[in-house]
Amino acid sequence: MKVLVTGGAGFIGSHLVDSLLDKGHSVVVVDDLSSGRREQVNPAARFYQLDIRERRLEEVFRQEKPDLVDHHAAHIDVRRSVADPLFDAHVNVLGSLNLLECARQHGVQRFIYASSGGAIYGEPSYLPCDEKHPLNPISPYGVSKLAVEKYLLFYGHAHGLGYTILRYPNVYGPRQDPTGEAGVVAIFARQMLMGERVTINGSGEQERDFVYVDDIVAANLLAMEHVDGATYNLGCGSGTSVNELFASMRTMIGYPLEPVYGPPKLGEAFKIYLDATKAQRELRWRPEVNLEDGLRATVASFDQLF
């Protein structure tokens, strides 16, 4: 199968590309390198440096004729989405629409979309959130991710596009950018290994479910066989506080300093973690890497950089 991966030079996308190639698939990568890195793209993949908003994207579809699109390219910085919602919508909504139109025009039958379970539910009315939880995003980023989910519903209904939506938890692991649109694990790892003071936003009692990148890649591979218009939460079903995460990484690294507490981030839920029972039942997916092992692998990968 030929798979087009948007955002394939980024954190999750580059791991996905590697696994697709290992499974014998042909892979095409589209990435504008605004946050991804060219050296992370497997040399066995065909690479196009291209913004998904550009008209030239249609040329890639015409030339490559992908069977499946796995869409990871996005603007993911929640704080910037709050400060500049027009930019966030331009990238995430209009860029995704351009991609969907190219898929429609060139007969793509299968589409996997990386959505955000951490952003589209808003402040939860119950935990863990399952797929039936009300969708009340409290950031423009969450609104944009939800909007694309609704566009997929339209393209499936009107044009017969087969799709699967995967709602991600907090994903962490090697290759996550610790200086850009990064997750807390990557940020903490860099600061601790560099001997810098760690800043915790808010009280540190906010909770997330952390899932290692290899498990997220595994869900994408399983979803390739279930492109049936379904939506799946991915998560471990329980929360870990930022303070607990800091303590674990501090012990692991031998970091001697106390954290500094700063203001909370606007647009983020205080506690959010996901019920992945549906993915376990229908995709036969469950996270295999526990948090301690995943953190050790992540820290080891960053230790080589710093």
Tokens matching residue 282: 């229908």
Say which of 48, 141, 168, 212 is annotated catalytic. 141
Asked if residue 156 lies in contact with residue 141, where contact means CB atoms within 8 angstroms, the answer is no
- CA 68 to chain CA centroid, Å, is 18
Three-class DSSP category at 268: coil
Question: The tokens 């230790």 sit on which residue?
Answer: 303
**Neighbour tally for 288: CB within 10 Å:** 12
Please state, in angstroms and rounded to a whole number, the distance separating the CA atoms of residues 15 and 9: 9
Q: Is 107 left (phi over 0), alpha (psi -120 to 50) or beta?
A: left
**Amino acid occupying residue 166:** L
Question: The tokens 């376990």 sit on which residue?
Answer: 280
Which of 189, 216, 205 is CA-nearest to residue 269?
205
Q: Is 129 left (phi over 0), alpha (psi -120 to 50) or beta?
A: beta
**Catalytic residue at 255?**
no
Please state, in angstroms and rounded to a whole number, the distance separating the CA atoms of residues 169 and 201: 19
Active site residues: 141
